[in-house]
């Protein structure tokens, strides 16, 4: 590798908001996205919320010429919504499903059905001289910032994502993470992810920036965003990221970062309710591995992990309460059923003359009790899983804190 040539890499990331029957002007927008990707010829394209496999297939056909390699990550009832297009061969893929992802009974928030996950794919560049690890992901949405019931779930996801990246990226030279993380830059989850993996934020590192103010990716200018949700943030919020790091003897520099600005360039409608993020990275091999000074970083890491652990603890106690109350409800329903069975048997045995209860309301009550029993039992099982996963994450965080203190 004489002269250490630079690899220029253009990456495109977009949450496409392509939900069948629900997203506005979906087909038109998917077509627009496809046209633009074909025109722009990026090196790597990371898409989220492509919920319909038909949309993926259409994109695949359209982009076959300039992005011969692609992958759609399947999971959950609806799918993961994640797909990737690449100019270079995809060597291998791995799907990691988060252990917690919202509640199945929150139908209006739908996250549970989506099987949110992180998809990893590796590829070689420049004839096999370097290797990427490229996670593409989406975390649980935030539906209410003031009273965010999903914060513990999102923190567990951020932690699992960080652990996944740490464990899978060790043989890579460069790690690139793109996706809708559903977290503001200063949120504990994103600080946890960044400090635990060492990933850098393309927006803060970029030499040149062009796009929405503060790099926001959910902006009031966009005609598809819900204006009331953005009320507290007049500029919008930044929740879509391209993050990167060099693992071995490489350096990565972000030369340019761009976002779309409410509408797709050259048209009057946006690609999606999110803005697209486009980064141009320069990757170069170095003689020496870039060993950053880690002592202050580790101090921050310990603080962030402690903060995240506290939040996970709050979620754990809430989950334990819910497990208890659903368990109690199931027991009560069971008792009612038993009582009814005793009463019915008593009536059959002729203890009472004639008919002691009106048959209809008696059977209605029994069916109600059965319904409550089934529902409460399912919820109890679900919250039991939730408690286990939160406990597991808290335990892992405790272990990391111990390791940071004992073996800095």
Active site (catalytic) residues: 274
- Of 31, 93, 320, 325, the residue at the interface with its own copies (CB under 8 A) is 93
Q: Which stretch binds its own copies (CB under 8 A): 12-20, 227-235, 291-299, 363-371?
A: 363-371
- Of 385, 398, 405, 408, the residue at the interface with its own copies (CB under 8 A) is 385
Residue 2 or 406 with smaller CB distance to its own copies: 406
- Of 144, 348, 349, 360, the residue at the interface with its own copies (CB under 8 A) is 360
74 binds its own copies (CB under 8 A): yes
- Of 10, 38, 87, 388, the residue at the interface with its own copies (CB under 8 A) is 388
- Of 71, 116, 123, 153, the residue at the interface with its own copies (CB under 8 A) is 71
Residue 227 or 407 with smaller CB distance to its own copies: 407
403 binds its own copies (CB under 8 A): yes
68 binds its own copies (CB under 8 A): no
Burial (CB count within 10 angstroms: exposed 0-12, middle 13-18, buried 19+), residue 350? exposed
> Coil, helix or strand for 238?
coil
Distance set, CA 392 to CA 159, 220, 372, 387, 401 (Å) = 11, 39, 30, 8, 14
73 binds its own copies (CB under 8 A): yes
Number of residues in contact with its own copies under rule CB under 8 A: 47
* Shortest distance in whole angstroms from residue 402 CB to its own copies: 9
76 binds its own copies (CB under 8 A): yes
Residues 99-118, mask of contacts with its own copies (x by CB under 8 A)? x-------------x-x---
Distance set, CA 371 to CA 324, 325, 328, 364, 375 (Å) = 19, 16, 15, 10, 6
Residue 95 or 141 with smaller CB distance to its own copies: 95
Residues 126-165, mask of contacts with its own copies (x by CB under 8 A)? -------------------------------------xx-
DSSP bridge pairs for 243: 177, 201
**Phi, psi for 271 (deg, rounded to 5):** -65, -35
398 binds its own copies (CB under 8 A): no
Listed in sequence order, the residues at least 6 apart from 301 whose beta carbon sits closer than 8 Å to its beta carbon are 195, 196, 404
d(CA 312, CA 296): 24
Tokens read off for 197 = 């993996």
Burial (CB count within 10 angstroms: exposed 0-12, middle 13-18, buried 19+), residue 163? middle
- Of 22, 61, 91, 342, the residue at the interface with its own copies (CB under 8 A) is 91
95 binds its own copies (CB under 8 A): yes
Closest CA to 78 of 44, 101, 45, 46: 101
Cβ contact 112:121 at 8 Å? no
For every residue of 292-313, DSSP letters joined together read: ---HHHHHHHHHHHHHHHHHHH
DSSP bridge pairs for 47: 14, 83
Q: Which stretch binds its own copies (CB under 8 A): 55-63, 88-96, 303-311, 312-320?
A: 88-96
Residue 76 or 313 with smaller CB distance to its own copies: 76
340 binds its own copies (CB under 8 A): no
384 binds its own copies (CB under 8 A): yes
Tokens read off for 223 = 């005609």
A 10 A CB-CB count for 330 gives 20
d(CA 20, CA 168): 33
- Of 40, 213, 303, 395, the residue at the interface with its own copies (CB under 8 A) is 395
226 binds its own copies (CB under 8 A): no
d(CA 136, CA 176): 8
Chain positions contacting its own copies, by CB under 8 A: 71-77, 79, 89-97, 99, 113, 115, 120, 163-164, 166-168, 170-171, 359-360, 363-364, 367, 374, 381, 384-385, 388-389, 391-392, 395-396, 399-400, 403, 407
């Amino acid at each position: 590798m004489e002269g250490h040539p630079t690899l220029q890499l253009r990456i495109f990331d977009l949450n496409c908001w392509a939900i069948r029957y629900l997203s506005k002007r979906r087909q038109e927008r998917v077509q627009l996205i496809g046209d633009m990707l074909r025109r722009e010829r990026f090196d790597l394209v990371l898409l989220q919320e492509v919920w319909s496999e038909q949309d993926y297939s259409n994109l695949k056909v359209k982009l076959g010429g300039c992005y011969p390699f692609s992958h759609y990550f399947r999971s959950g009832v609806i799918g993961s919504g994640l797909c990737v297009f690449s100019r270079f061969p995809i060597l291998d893929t791995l799907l990691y499903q988060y252990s917690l992802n919202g509640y199945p009974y929150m139908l209006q928030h739908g996250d549970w059905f989506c099987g949110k996950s992180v998809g990893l794919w590796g590829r070689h560049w420049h004839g096999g001289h370097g290797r990427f690890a490229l996670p593409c992901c989406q975390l649980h949405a935030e539906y209410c910032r003031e009273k965010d019931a999903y914060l513990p779930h999102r923190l567990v996801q951020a932690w699992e994502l960080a652990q996944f990246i740490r464990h899978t990226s060790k043989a890579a030279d460069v790690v690139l993470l793109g996706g809708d993380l559903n977290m503001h830059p200063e949120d504990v989850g994103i600080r946890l992810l960044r400090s635990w993996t060492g990933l850098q934020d393309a927006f803060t590192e970029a030499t040149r920036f062009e796009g929405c103010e503060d790099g926001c990716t959910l902006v009031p200018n966009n005609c598809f965003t819900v204006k009331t949700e953005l009320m507290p943030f007049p500029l919008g919020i930044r929740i879509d990221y391209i993050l990167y790091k060099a693992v071995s003897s490489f350096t990565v520099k972000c030369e340019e970062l761009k976002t779309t600005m409410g509408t797709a360039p050259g048209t009057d409608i946006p690609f999606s309710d999110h803005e697209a993020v486009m980064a141009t990275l320069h990757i170069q091999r170095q003689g020496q591995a870039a060993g950053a000074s880690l002592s202050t970083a580790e101090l921050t890491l310990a603080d962030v992990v402690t903060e995240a652990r506290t939040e996970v603890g709050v979620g754990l106690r809430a989950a334990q309460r819910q497990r208890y109350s659903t368990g109690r409800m199931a027991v009560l329903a069971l008792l009612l059923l038993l009582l009814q069975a005793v009463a019915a048997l008593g009536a059959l045995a002729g203890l009472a003359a004639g008919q002691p209860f009106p048959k209809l309301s008696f059977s209605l009550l029994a069916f109600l009790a059965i319904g409550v029993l089934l529902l409460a039992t399912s919820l109890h099982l679900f919250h039991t899983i939730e408690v286990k996963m939160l406990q597991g994450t808290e335990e892992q965080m405790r272990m990391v804190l111990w390791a940071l203190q004992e073996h800095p």
